[in-house]
Amino acid sequence: MTARRKLPRIDLARVRTIPLKSRPSKVSLALLGSAPRKGASWKSFERGLPRILAAGEFTALADAIAAAARRRKTVLWMIGAHVIKTGLSPVLLELMRRRALTALAMNGAGSIHDFEMARNGATSEDVAAGLKDGTFGMARETGEFFARALGRRLLSGYGEAVGAAIADERLPNRRISLLHEMYQAGLPATVHVAIGTDITHAQPSARGEDIGRATHEDFRTLCAVAATLEGGVVINVGSAVVLPEVFLKALTVARNLGHPVRKFTAANLDMIQHYRPNLNVVQRPTQLGGRRIVLTGHHELMVPMLAQAIIERL
């Protein structure tokens, strides 16, 4: 048995120290928040936020969006279906009216919830219950509407076709539909679908050729939006895979065609930070310049607060 080697004893008395005043500090009195006051205004609340970490990023994002709106630059919101399911359509529509949302991209599920809210004023089924007897995703009217919408307007993209069909059929709650209101305002709203991901794809009315053609047309539209992002803002809210992947390709097409898209603000807002949104929306696209912002929190809290901050600035 070998003898255990004894390490030399460290003499802490020989450790060098420095004066506290000479050490750089990350937090100072000037950065501290202030205590909230009963009945305070939003401006007072926001001024009371500490100018540290996410609070500083939050105000920077509100500043960037408001500045882009004032300068009439592109503000692209890319949203997952959860944003609609958490009741945020009215918030985004108000931002649209104030030019703090000038282009919209969503996944296929987002368009389904958008339509169902416009038609029935309700959406989001119990997946676990429907899966047991095979009725999950089998709402007939939803599938047939999308088949009509995409088949009727063969030269339109997916988002425009759905928005136009909601208008043509005068759905009772159409003013709450993002796709309808973007269509009426003449603003680009795109839907990016992966075949098999949406409930409508499993129904007898589904036509793959219409779905693929329409969503590919919307990819081309998103490429055109990406080409105008210089000085603007792109925000990904709640899409972990589809929209970050599509956006990366749209941006490379824009740059491939010679559009000088280098300096813009790129932000990701989600409850959990995922690999693709941070890499494909925030980090890789801003290697040539711009600002990167990452905020973590529930959509139903973060988006209304951000909207309020933007509106105060405008």
Q: Kindly report, residue by residue over 176-222, the tens digit of the pLDDT.
A: 999 999 999 999 999 999 999 999 999 999 999 999 999 999 999 99
272, pLDDT greater than 70:
yes
Q: What is the pLDDT of residue 284?
A: 97
Average model confidence (pLDDT) across the chain: 95
Q: What is the pLDDT of residue 1?
A: 61
Q: What is the pLDDT of residue 2?
A: 67
Q: Rounded to two decimals, what is the model's pTM?
A: 0.93
131, pLDDT greater than 90:
no
Q: What is the pLDDT of residue 125?
A: 82
Residue that the structure tokens 């282009």 belong to: 103
Q: What is the pLDDT of residue 226?
A: 98
Q: What is the pLDDT of residue 155?
A: 76
288, pLDDT greater than 80:
yes
